[in-house]
Structure 1
């Protein structure tokens, strides 16, 4: 049981809530935020929940110049029974510490971080939407705050949690999206920071996304940075393919993020006795599977969209239409089951859900 003491300052000027059908992902934020500060030699201190507000930093703060920052993405769900549920939040905090380790940043106390999150949700519980497809998106993040222009790890940090009521990540929802296979730009390589949720990984994706947007594609499919032939991620999501009855997903290789939705999907498939394999997957294999009629389904997985079916892939001028551009049976079953577990309408045989 956490003995964390958090000072709470209530917001006297509450915001007007946006109707659920008008929510745009990541544009609306709740009335409060959590902050804790870290100082080398002292540790984490001044744990507080305060009104949502700008963060003031010195222009020489390490975050601005050397990119020391990590973040997580998770959700809270409000069910018809009035219970608020979190989905595997301990995995997010564990992964955040793995990211901190890679970026030479101070590690959080995972138990205290979860307690802080629970208290913040309790303060802003009225912000959690309950309509189908909606949730409260939670963004814990850490930034380096030391005022110093030397290339070295910061001696001070701030750990912050902000929250945002959201609808579907893609306007298409569970409907299939079009994906452009990226052959020029690289997201990450083994030994780099691809396994950490750090800002630079996402900044390096923006140029390729611009190209995809111009072509009418929702996301890009990333290939490995060495041979440019093996599939890694789709946008900021992990990716799965159903080929001839077997589900395959790229194996974690030092440049692919260890997605929490990814590991949940793998566990769920094994629970259903659906063959699932983690291994190298090349675009040549996908092309051959398409040509021989064995490419049954493809989908991305992640916290924001949960399951995002892929209806079309474009690679080197070729178009591959997956399942006639329609949502596959397995994709739909996975989506319904996972979101059902998250909302409390489907039995959770794995103990994934934390009820508040």
Structure 2
């Protein structure tokens, strides 16, 4: 890959916040590292990337992101192994997906050389924020927003691509129960469900709040046409284990093509765990739970890796799932994390070393 480091404007922070950060008591996404990357699109091209001290932005009130929602993002993590080496997990997938999301929202695609070189320089600059040990990581949030001033209803001509980083431990704590949606949907055919568009997540907060009032932590969305088929949760792809078979919904223009999801499916094939990628009906899962055949459910995603689900609700029914010692959720989480932290062989070429 062409080295564009000399083309990145690096402005070091005169002071670090790291000594004021309690790494034993982190709240996900609340603390950010000393630096951030930003790159502006104007006059029809991306300008020189800049790494600068983390801080506020100055935008016109008429910036189109505020009015028409042209904003997409990604979620990635950096890990540090026992030898202080820094690793990313399948970053090519995140890069491809943010450009796929951008294209759907009429945002210009970001150059690959800029993305990887700027990201690596940023991680090397803030390397002390990446702590060793299972569960510790640096959450990386690339995102793009429309910055052109003006409220005419059309795609902007100016954008800002940014990367910010936040030290992280586990995303969820405590037991997670989900509600199967009977009314609300996350996305519809022909829409932007496959993209990590900011509005996808903003629209989920109200239904999720309603579910929380009933004692659930998340919603599993159902299809917009019939509400008969389970698709994904607010921040996770979903897997169901019925008997010893692992089932998940296929990706389409409503469902995010999760990096962790596809990694689980690859590992399942490697270890001869039977999988089915097909539509999953609410009726099927409820009946399996009633018969005791639904062994487990778990979510997958960058922030959470693998998150076991201990129970679910549908209509006026509530179901608790068995507690398994040999759960698939535990198996996949262990396998994935050992690859991510450079503690196991990476026969798939998923690890990317930051040098």
The aligned counterpart of 1:226 is 225
CA distance in 1, matches of 2:43, 2:185: 35
Could you tell me whether the CA contact under 8 Å between 1:309 and 1:328 is conserved in 2? no
The aligned counterpart of 2:37 is 34
Question: What are the Cα deviations for residues 212-270 of structure 1, in whole angstroms up to 9, with x where unaligned?
Answer: 22222221111111101100102211000111211110111310000000111111101
Could you tell me whether the CA contact under 8 Å between 2:185 and 2:221 is conserved in 1? yes
The aligned counterpart of 1:158 is 160
Query: How many residue pairs end up in the alignment?
Result: 351
- Cα RMSD over matched residues? 1.2
* Alignment map for 1:57-206 (pairs within 5 Å): 57-172=59-174, 176-206=175-205
Could you tell me whether the CA contact under 8 Å between 2:181 and 2:220 is conserved in 1? yes
The runs of 4+ residues in structure 1 deviating greater than 4 Å are: none
CA distance in 1, matches of 2:325, 2:119: 35
Determine which of 32, 49, 52 is the counterpart of 1:50.
Answer: 52
SS at match of 1:22: coil
Unpaired segments of 5 or more residues in structure 2?
none
Point out the more displaced range, 125-134 or 254-263: 125-134
TM-score of the pair, normalised by structure 1? 0.96
CA distance in 2, matches of 1:201, 1:351: 31
Q: CA deviation at 1:94?
A: 0.1
Question: What are the Cα deviations for residues 186-231 of structure 1, in whole angstroms up to 9, with x where unaligned?
Answer: 1111111101101100011000111122222221111111101100
Could you tell me whether the CA contact under 8 Å between 1:297 and 1:328 is conserved in 2? no
CA distance in 1, matches of 2:326, 2:239: 12
CA distance in 2, matches of 1:17, 1:117: 24
The aligned counterpart of 2:343 is 345
Unpaired segments of 5 or more residues in structure 1?
none
Q: CA deviation at 1:40?
A: 3.9
SS at match of 1:97: helix
Point out the more displaced range, 326-335 or 222-231: 326-335
The aligned counterpart of 2:295 is 296
